[in-house]
């Protein structure tokens, strides 16, 4: 899998969220570079797990929708007349 690339605005928002979390939960102020390095680490080391779960969730949802479509098509079918038997 290739590296997960996020838009600059998304990266900046995630860095701010990390910094806020550290202050609120750990009473520790991360610097800008520390937040960037931590976000890079999380992305590189753990990002694939979150990404793969997202792919599996999307696959399950799509599979469910396809099953619903198949049932809907089955309901559209009309009864076929039985052939008349000739004796």
* Residue 2 pLDDT greater than 70, yes or no: no
* Residue 75 pLDDT greater than 80, yes or no: yes
Cα 23 to its chain centre, rounded Å, is: 28
pLDDT at 82 (0 to 100): 86
Question: What is the CA angle 65-70-71, rounded to 5?
Answer: 95
pLDDT digits (tens, 9 = 90+) for 22-67: 999 999 999 999 999 999 999 999 999 999 999 999 999 999 999 9
pLDDT at 52 (0 to 100): 96
Say if residues 11 and 28 touch (Cβ distance below 8 Å).
no
Phi/psi at 85 (5° precision): -85, 140
């Amino acid at each position: 899998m290739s590296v997960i690339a996020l838009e600059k605005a998304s990266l900046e928002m995630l860095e701010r969220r990390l910094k806020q979390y550290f202050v609120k939960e750990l009473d520790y102020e991360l610097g800008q570079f520390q937040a960037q390095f931590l976000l890079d680490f999380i992305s590189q080391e753990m990002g694939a797990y979150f990404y793969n779960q997202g792919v599996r969730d999307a696959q399950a949802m799509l599979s469910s929708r396809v099953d619903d479509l198949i049932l809907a098509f089955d309901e559209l079918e009309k009864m076929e007349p039985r052939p008349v038997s000739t004796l």
